[in-house]
Amino acid sequence: MPAAHASYYAASAHPTPHRVPLAGSVSCDVCVIGGGIAGCSAALHLAERGYSVVLLEQHHIGWGASGRSGGQVIHGVACGQSRLERLIGGQASRAVWDVSTEALALTRQLISRYRIDCDWADGYLLTAIKPRHDRQLHEEIEELRTRLGYHSVRHIDRDEVCATLATTRYLGALYDSNSGHLHPLNYTLGLAAAAESKGVRIHEQTRAVGFTAAHVRTEHGEVNARHLVLCGNVYLGKTAPQICSKIMAVGTHIVATAPLGERRARALIANNAAVSDMNWVLDYFRLSADHRLLFGGRVSYSGLGGFDARRATRARMLRVFPQLEDVGIEYTWGGYVDITLNRAPHFGRLMPNVYFLQGFSGHGIALTGIAGKLVAEAVAGEAERFDVFARIPHRDFPGGTLARRPLLVLAMLYYRLRDLL
């Protein structure tokens, strides 16, 4: 995958302090591994509770999915409420839903409380390409409003969609005024700065190579801690083989156009909402604060490169907005998101004092933030909400180390064919 430094986000990131690698031995109450949103949020919420915290990041803050994503901050979990209810029952699934909507409020609160400059904008559109999509949207809105009491959503018909988005591709949409979008790298950097303001010690360029219940080994040092929180997702790898079999790395790519100017940009998305469609291999896009179109939509389940990501993603963009044929692409980047087999988030414990957060399945900007809050509650002995998520059952991806990815590719071919029907 292209490195994070090739991204629009890295090019427009706020300056950050130099954070030295860990050398020698340090002690703390809690060691957090992973400097994405989940790790930085966990560190911040633990520090707010008075714990001494050390955070270890293999590269630099926001290097992984948290700093490269589409930046869409949306309600719910990736697997959907119906599947979640089948997995853990109505009461527990409702508790997960409540956490997911609290996550949206928490995102806004953290931005306000710590004055995080990350280009927050309100609004999200989930768009229908086919008549069956539009029927599903009506059902979804009815469930959200009637069963879950979530009244910030409404249906938009084709005429209103065409008045909002400068494309004829969509038949209708769900509009959510409570969701939104932001600059994900600057948000992550802001969380890290907030955590440091509360006393968290952050060491970049420091990979955790092994751990026990009370000890973390790095290449040039060690951390002695009473609790450990693993937030590395697909990048943990052999550091935590106990949980890596439950997630799969999926590659995704985004392009950023040259600046369009405010007038032309707002003509594309009149309400400045984040947008995604309902296909399995979906397109997602939004405007940046400096009036570029950021467009993602090319995924790789094979784990292999070898194709022109810029050309492929631009082609998808022009299928939605053919009027951008004359506009250049200034940035192309990619990275990995972690998915679980059932697309539900995967939280739990490896030991009584070793917690992990993973499996956000491309739905993580808001949920990773509140996951950090939940794990801080659990460390403090208030584990009820964390344990609801820990009850969600998860299976290994089939096929073992060698065959699991080819089997996933075959399964995804079925869903791609469905997108064509």
CATH numbers and ranges of domains, the chain: 4-403 (3.50.50.60)
Beta strand spans in 232-273 (E)? 247-257
The answer to whether 356 and 347 are in contact (CB under 8 A) is yes
- The structure tokens listed for 320 are 């939605």
State the number of CA atoms in the 13 A half-sphere of 387 facing the CB.
Answer: 7
The DSSP string of 310-351 is: HHHHHHHHHHH-GGGTTPPEEEEEEEEEEEETTS--EEEEEE
The DSSP string of 85-129 is: HHHH-HHHHHHHHHHHHHHHHHHHHHHHHTT--S--EEEEEEEES
Q: Is residue 31 helix, strand or coil?
A: strand
Per-residue pLDDT of the chain (421 residues; tens, 9 = 90+): 334 448 999 999 999 999 999 999 999 999 999 999 999 999 999 999 999 999 999 999 999 999 999 999 999 999 999 999 999 999 999 999 999 999 999 999 999 999 999 999 999 999 999 999 999 999 999 999 999 999 999 999 999 999 999 999 999 999 999 999 999 999 999 999 999 999 999 999 999 999 998 899 999 999 999 999 999 988 888 888 888 888 888 888 999 999 999 999 999 999 999 999 998 788 999 999 999 999 998 666 545 455 688 999 999 999 999 999 999 999 999 888 888 889 999 999 999 999 999 999 888 899 999 999 999 999 999 999 999 999 999 988 765 555 445 545 544 444 444 555 5
Say what the pTM is. 0.92
State the Cα–Cα distance between residues 309 and 295, nearest whole angstrom: 12
